[in-house]
Structure 1
Amino acid sequence: MTVRELRLIGDPVLRTPCAPVTAFDDGLAALVTDLMDTVSLPGRAGLAANQIGVSLAAFSYDVEGARGYVVNPRLVATDGEYDGEEACLSVPGVHAPRLRAAYARVEGVDAFGRPVAVEGTGELARCLQHETDHLRGELYIDALTGERRRAAMRRLREAGLAGP
C-alpha cells in the first residue's frame, strides 16, 4: 500500500489545471493505485491527482460505499441543490457550508481507456464536483461568498495557511 503525501494550499500544483491522460501504461496504473490507497484512509472521501503532486486528470473516491476512480473525468450533468459542510484534504482544518448540485454525473475512462460513468446524489455528488474542480485548479473555498468566505479565510489565517 502506497499512501502519498498530500499537497496543501499554497502549493502551485493545486492551482494548475491538470493535463489529460494520454498514456494508458504502467505509470497510469501506478498513479491509480496510489490514488486508491491514499483515499482509503479513514476520513477521506475523494482525492485528485494534483493533491499528490501529479498534474494529470484523474481522481479517486470512497463515499458511502461507492469506491473507484475516473481518468479524464468530465462533469456532464448536475441537478438540484445540496447545501452542506465541505472540507478538503489540501485545506486542513477548514470546513464551510458550500452549495453544490444535489445530483452529479461524471464520465471518463478507466486505466485501460474504457468508458466509465459515475453518478450520485448527496455526498457522492458533492465529491464528484469537488474532485473535478480540483482538476481545473480550483479549491472549494474559491466559490464561497459573504460570511462563509470570511469565516473560511479567518480559519485559514488562524491555521497559518496561505490564502487562495
Structure 2
Amino acid sequence: MALRKIRKYGDEVLRKKSKKVEVFDKRLHTLIEDMLETMAEAEGVGLAAPQIGILKRVVVIDVGEGPIELINPEIIESEGEITQPEACLSIPGVLGEVPRPKRVKVRAQDRWGNFFEIEGEDLLARAFCHEIDHLDGILFVDKVTKFLEPDSEG
C-alpha cells in the first residue's frame, strides 16, 4: 500500500467525469488499498479516485463503522433532505452547509465486480452523495447554501 497525493481545488482533474471500471484486477485492488490508506492518513471519511488523480469510478468511505468500497456506484433511491456542514479533503479549510438527502440507497460493485446495494442515513448518506458527486466532477462548494467558519462546525 502507498499514500497517494490528494489533489487540491483548482486541479482540473477534480472537474472531469470519471470512467466506469471495466477490469476488476490486482491493480484495482491496489488502488482501493492505497485510497483507504490515504483517506485514513488524511483523517477523512471518504475519498474518490479523482481526488488522487485517477479518473475511475471508485470510492472509499469510512464514517467510523468500517471501510466501504464502492466501484461504479449510483444512487438509486433517496429520501428526505437535511442541510448540514460539509468539508472536503481536496478543499482544506473550507466548510459549508450543503443540503443532501437524509437517506440514500446505492447500487455498486465490489472489488471483484459483484453487484450489491447499500443504504445509508445521515452522515453515511451525505458521504455517499459527496463522493459520488466527485466522480462526475462536482464539488461540495458547487452546492453550498452558506459558507461557515471552519471552527463553527461543532
Is this contact kept in 2: 1:103–1:121, CA < 8 A? yes
Is this contact kept in 1: 2:73–2:106, CA < 8 A? yes
Helix, strand or coil at the partner of 2:90: coil
In structure 2, the residue matched to 1:61 is 61
Unaligned runs of 5+ in 1: 156-164
In structure 2, the residue matched to 1:75 is 75
Is this contact kept in 1: 2:99–2:143, CA < 8 A? no
CA offset at residue 42 of structure 1?
5.9
In structure 2, the residue matched to 1:103 is 103
Identity of aligned residues (%): 36
Rounded to whole Å, the distance in 1 between the matches of 2:86 and 2:68 is 20
In structure 2, the residue matched to 1:21 is 21
Helix, strand or coil at the partner of 2:50: helix
Is this contact kept in 2: 1:64–1:124, CA < 8 A? no
In structure 2, the residue matched to 1:160 is none
Helix, strand or coil at the partner of 1:34: helix
One-letter amino acid of the counterpart of residue 38, structure 2: T
CA offset at residue 144 of structure 1?
2.4
**CA distance 1:12–1:32, change in 2 (3 Å):** same
TM-score for the superposition, normalised by structure 2 = 0.91
Rounded to whole Å, the distance in 2 between the matches of 1:32 and 1:61 is 11
One-letter amino acid of the counterpart of residue 105, structure 2: R
CA offset at residue 2 of structure 1?
1.7
Is this contact kept in 2: 1:18–1:57, CA < 8 A? yes
Rounded to whole Å, the distance in 1 between the matches of 2:72 and 2:25 is 14
**CA distance 1:112–1:104, change in 2 (3 Å):** same
One-letter amino acid of the counterpart of residue 44, structure 1: G
Unaligned runs of 5+ in 2: none
Name the Cα RMSD after superposition. 1.7
Helix, strand or coil at the partner of 1:83: strand
In structure 2, the residue matched to 1:41 is 41
One-letter amino acid of the counterpart of residue 136, structure 2: R
Query: Are positions 1:88 and 2:82 aligned together?
Result: no
Count of aligned pairs between the two proteins: 150
Rounded to whole Å, the distance in 2 between the matches of 1:143 and 1:17 is 17
One-letter amino acid of the counterpart of residue 125, structure 2: A
One-letter amino acid of the counterpart of residue 31, structure 1: L
**CA distance 1:42–1:10, change in 2 (3 Å):** closer
CA offset at residue 125 of structure 1?
0.4
One-letter amino acid of the counterpart of residue 78, structure 2: T
| Deviation sequence 1:65-119 (CA, Å, 0-9, x none) | 1421100001111101111100000011000111110001111101110112221
Helix, strand or coil at the partner of 1:63: coil
One-letter amino acid of the counterpart of residue 12, structure 1: E
Query: Are positions 1:138 and 2:138 aligned together?
Result: yes
In structure 1, the residue matched to 2:30 is 30
TM-score for the superposition, normalised by structure 1 = 0.85
